[in-house]
A and B are shown apart, each in its own frame.
Chain A
Amino acid sequence: MADDEDNGSSVLDADTFVETEAPAVIIARIEGKSRQVERLLRIPQYTEALETALMDAPTQTRDEQCKAANWILVHRVLMATKDVDGLLLGLNPELHDVLMKYLYRGLATGDRITCDLCLRLHEKLFDMAGIGCIMRAISDTQNLV
Chain B
Amino acid sequence: MANTLRPYLTCIRNTLTAAMCLQNFPCQEVERHNKPEVEFKTSKELLLNPILICRNEAEKCLIESSINSLRISIKVKQADELENILAKKFLRFLSMRAESFQVLRRKPVQGYDISFLITNFHCEEMFKHKLIDFVVAFMEDIDKEISELKLSVNTRGRLVATEFLRQFT
* Residue ranges of A at the interface with B (Cβ–Cβ < 8 Å): 8, 10-12, 104, 107-112, 115-116, 119-120, 122-123, 126, 131, 134-135, 137-141, 144
Contact = CB atoms under 8 A, between A and B. Distances in A.
B17 interface: yes
A115 B55 CA distance: 6
Given A10-B43, A115-B56, A131-B17, A122 B11 contact: yes
Interface in B1-36: 4, 7-8, 10-11, 14-15, 17-19, 21
Contacts of A126: 14
B43 to A, nearest CB: 7
Interface of B: 4, 7-8, 10-11, 14-15, 17-19, 21, 42-45, 47-49, 51-57, 60, 65
7 contacts: A10-B45, A12-B44, A112-B56, A134-B18, A135-B18, A138-B19, A138-B48
A58 B48 CA distance: 20
B15 A119 contact: no
Nearest to B1: A116
A138 B7 contact: no
Nearest to B19: A138
Contacts of B14: 122-123, 126, 131, 134
B7 A104 contact: no
A141 B48 contact: yes
B52 A119 contact: no
